[in-house]
Structure 1
Amino acid sequence: MKLEAFLYNTLNRTVASAIGLAAPFHTKARKLYEGHKSLINSIEKHFQSEKAPVAWFHCASLGEFEQGRPVMEAFKKEYPDYKILLTFFSPSGYEVRKDYAGADFICYLPFDTPGQAKRFIQAAKPRIAFFVKYEYWYNYLRLLHEQNVPTFLVSGIFNPSFIFFKPYGGFYRKMLLYFTHLFVQNKESARLLDSIGIRNYSLGGDTRFDRVAAICQQPKKIPLAEAFKADQPLLVAGSSWEPDLRVLAPLLLHYKGKLKAIIAPHEADEAHVEEAEEILSGLHICRFSKATEETAAKADVLLIDNVGMLSSLYALGDYAFVGGGFGKGLHNILEAATFGMPVFFGNKAYHIFQEAFDLIDRGGAFAIGSAGELQHRFSVLYEDEEKRKEAAHSCADYVQENTGATRQIMEYIQFMKKENARQNL
């Protein structure tokens, strides 16, 4: 195990050095490099006079943040005396949520080397820790375990390709035992953990359902988008990549004047917004940032050139198209499904998302391979309102049936608090 730890730590030091070397040439590397400058010192300075207990939540990126958020907010409500420390690994999470009001201190996670991890734990002194979905950091987990800090995995998910289940994965299997408890999403994850003798888990479901159900109850009002929709059918395309837009464009042209579309590119920078405008040429497009309610009402497409409002835009939709399914991976379809509408997505990169399979089986979602297939499947629902409503209800009901993961986690913590006062939660 000492050799494995040495190799692991060497790899982490190498990655940290490589990020510094890549910073002048790569935007994400540069943001990481800048974010780690004096990071430990700033953490030590912030926490040196902190007297309140600290609950630490760590998320790799933005998607994991949305998964951890319901637990974070429920914990803060139940234990208001705690300060919330929120860390990210990726700039795509930190940059978007660095001003999140639900946490008291937000920063990057220092690289997982023995020295950095020790200084971080000594400075923050977390009394409880939550890692979301995929996060396994040896030095952090070892130190938390050695100091008897209750540590939980939230909405964990495992598949046979993970290193834990390989003959050479002993070092990584050890990390799973450092957790006080693993809350896993599905039966397959539970079966895999059983196969390697890991018993400190329970089937807890996916906290994303709790998050999107909460959003559905309190969507933000966006008057400009409401004026754009007026009384026309509306398709909301979220996190759209170039292949998604090329499949959508013929559909929107075919239904021009009969269907409106709100389109949010996966990146809201100028280059991606201009790319969307080029692909959708032939339609009357207005950018959100430049539109008035009057000009928006006359447009075919409302192009979203900012971040942070997609989940509330879905509230206005009658149909949704969720991007990423033709490329790097399908984005969150539950954000759309919770509002009760048929959901379309590309058929190439959705296979690791159980909710995609479930909604397809229930008739609420449709994996499509081409513009022609999209137009065919869409037209069936567009021409038959009862069929559209059936698909919509399937989606909304599915979300409601799967809520409750956050409550289960909080009940476990409350039980542990009562049964094990020495952990001083």
Structure 2
Amino acid sequence: MGILYQIGIHFFILSLRIASIFNLKIRAGLEGRKNWSSILENIPKNVQVIWFHCASLGEFDQGLPVMHMIKNNTPNAFILVTFFSPSGMEHYHKRTHPVDKALYLPFDTKINALTFIQKAKPKLAVFVKYEFWPNFILECRSSNVKLVSISTLLRKNQIYFKGYGRFFARILKKIDYFFVQNEETKSLLESIGIKDITLSGDTRYDRVLQHKEATTESDSILSKFSAQGPILIAGSSWESEEKIIKQFMESNPETKVIIAPHNIKRANIERIGTLLDQATMCYTDYNEAHVEQVLILDTIGHLSAAYQYADYALIGGGFSGSLHNIIEAAAFGLPVFFGPHHEKFPEAQGFIDGDIGFVVENAKQLSDKIKALGNQDELKQKIEAFVRDQAGATNKIVNHSFITNTLKQK
């Protein structure tokens, strides 16, 4: 299987090169990987390089609290971040972050892994959530670079736990320590003989609370729009959620809606306006003299702070199985609603079990469940308390003896 993987990774690279002819996002990823080796040349000497690998922007957000704490605790820490996806590389700088250098992860060939580790010389490697590249993992082990996985989330139907996936299971065993999100992941790793595991939780809870505390400035546009409510916000919406919003507004004309679409390209904004079949206005074109019932956030970076201006949140991706971050909305005390396909997101089931998250499949269900919520102030306090109770993963990770001992070693 190892030989097949080495052959397969080269075919994978070839397929991306072909696909890049037709796909701008893939082309951006390939272009961004050019000259990656030279980017590593000017890492200062006498620093401790802590390398974080994040598949995309969501995993970067998950790793951010750990990056911040390690940077604060380790004066000579140099935070090196790699991304696989262009969405991470192109947007990470819009976050408040401690990153010293960021680049695309080179493709997972043996020579790339060897060159990367030799040039970067990481003291500690941190893979966030679930992306595991065999050659990089094997090179970390060969070069005596300690490697941990944080906020790890795995499912029983993945290849690591199948009879034909023994090669990939052996790769996981090369990782020195796992800090996992839930008991299921811990049990799955134990089932293939991995013992160095801590059930630390999801660092996103720390991330959203930090962001909430840092959100001190008022947004004049959102504040004016939400002055008269109630307000429903659709976070990272797709067409399925937007169709629900259209029907919901027909039976709830008193509710104003903020839509933050997953795709903010002009053509998609126009599609949403046509779908809703009523006057809308965009954040970038806001006119206080002509306030409409729908405000579309046609910007990047406003969503997480915009939740504080709403009363309820309909989160996108629950109809496709790619549920967006529901924790961001809950940090501001909002009950969250989402589609039925949330199996890959255990936090959704936790919200459902805690009666602070609700599955909806149509506008009537959304309307009925909002009306059944009861006392809004009590619910807000309950949701905020739930989020606080889930926090603390960052401390468990950074202050763990494996991490502290690794960073103390000369």
Range into which the TM-score falls when normalised by the shorter chain: over 0.9
CA distance in structure 2 between the partners assigned to 1:416 and 1:311 by the alignment: 30
Does residue 1:322 correspond to 2:318, yes or no?
no
Instruction: Give the counterpart letter for 2:86 in structure 1.
Output: P
CA distance in structure 1 between the partners assigned to 2:406 and 2:107 by the alignment: 35
Which shifted more, 92-101 or 216-225?
A: 92-101
CA distance in structure 1 between the partners assigned to 2:334 and 2:40 by the alignment: 48
CA distance in structure 2 between the partners assigned to 1:210 and 1:410 by the alignment: 13
Deviation for aligned residue 1:9: 1.6
CA distance in structure 2 between the partners assigned to 1:98 and 1:112 by the alignment: 25
| Contact 1:132 1:156 (C-alpha < 8 Å) held by counterparts | yes
Deviation for aligned residue 1:264: 0.3
CA distance in structure 1 between the partners assigned to 2:406 and 2:105 by the alignment: 31
Does residue 1:235 correspond to 2:232, yes or no?
yes
Instruction: Give the counterpart letter for 1:331 in structure 2.
Output: H
In structure 2, relative to structure 1, the CA distance for the partners of 1:241 and 1:419 (3 Å cut) is closer
| Contact 1:285 1:299 (C-alpha < 8 Å) held by counterparts | yes
Does residue 1:376 correspond to 2:368, yes or no?
yes
CA distance in structure 1 between the partners assigned to 2:361 and 2:404 by the alignment: 51
Does residue 1:160 correspond to 2:156, yes or no?
yes
Matched with 1:352 is 344
Deviation for aligned residue 1:419: 8.2
Matched with 2:221 is 224
SS in 2 for 1:169: helix
Instruction: Give the counterpart letter for 2:167 in structure 1.
Output: F
| Contact 1:43 1:123 (C-alpha < 8 Å) held by counterparts | no
CA distance in structure 2 between the partners assigned to 1:420 and 1:273 by the alignment: 48
CA distance in structure 1 between the partners assigned to 2:41 and 2:365 by the alignment: 58
CA distance in structure 2 between the partners assigned to 1:99 and 1:116 by the alignment: 29
The 4+ residue runs of structure 1 with deviation greater than 4 A are 98-101, 418-421
Does residue 1:285 correspond to 2:273, yes or no?
no
How many residues are paired up? 408
CA distance in structure 1 between the partners assigned to 2:73 and 2:18 by the alignment: 44
Matched with 1:365 is 357
In structure 2, relative to structure 1, the CA distance for the partners of 1:99 and 1:324 (3 Å cut) is closer
Does residue 1:188 correspond to 2:181, yes or no?
no
Out of 376, 386, 389, which is 1:398 matched to?
Answer: 386
**Within-5 A mapping of 1:129-278:** 129-219=125-215, 220-256=217-253, 258-278=254-274
CA distance in structure 1 between the partners assigned to 2:222 and 2:151 by the alignment: 33
Does residue 1:46 correspond to 2:42, yes or no?
yes
Which shifted more, 401-410 or 266-275?
A: 266-275
What does the per-residue CA deviation read over 1:222-270, in whole Å, with 9 as the maximum and x for residues that have no partner? 21111111142211110000010001112123322x2211110001111
Matched with 2:86 is 91
Sequence identity percentage: 38
SS in 1 for 2:233: strand
What is the TM-score when the length of structure 2 is the normalising length? 0.95
What does the per-residue CA deviation read over 1:299-347, in whole Å, with 9 as the maximum and x for residues that have no partner? 2111011111111001111111101111242111001011101111112
In structure 2, relative to structure 1, the CA distance for the partners of 1:263 and 1:186 (3 Å cut) is same
| Contact 1:154 1:182 (C-alpha < 8 Å) held by counterparts | yes
Matched with 1:116 is 112
What is the TM-score when the length of structure 1 is the normalising length? 0.91
| Contact 1:341 1:389 (C-alpha < 8 Å) held by counterparts | no
Which runs of 5 or more structure 2 residues have no equivalent in the other structure?
A: none
Deviation for aligned residue 1:199: 0.4
CA distance in structure 2 between the partners assigned to 1:259 and 1:226 by the alignment: 15
**Within-5 A mapping of 1:384-423:** 384=374, 386=375, 388-413=376-401, 416-418=403-405, 421=408, 423=409
CA distance in structure 2 between the partners assigned to 1:246 and 1:416 by the alignment: 47
In structure 2, relative to structure 1, the CA distance for the partners of 1:106 and 1:420 (3 Å cut) is closer
CA distance in structure 1 between the partners assigned to 2:48 and 2:338 by the alignment: 44
Deviation for aligned residue 1:405: 0.4
Deviation for aligned residue 1:139: 1.2
Out of 103, 112, 116, which is 1:107 matched to?
Answer: 103
Instruction: Give the counterpart letter for 1:89 in structure 2.
Output: F
| Contact 1:127 1:149 (C-alpha < 8 Å) held by counterparts | yes
RMSD (Å) for aligned C-alpha atoms: 1.8
Deviation for aligned residue 1:390: 4.0
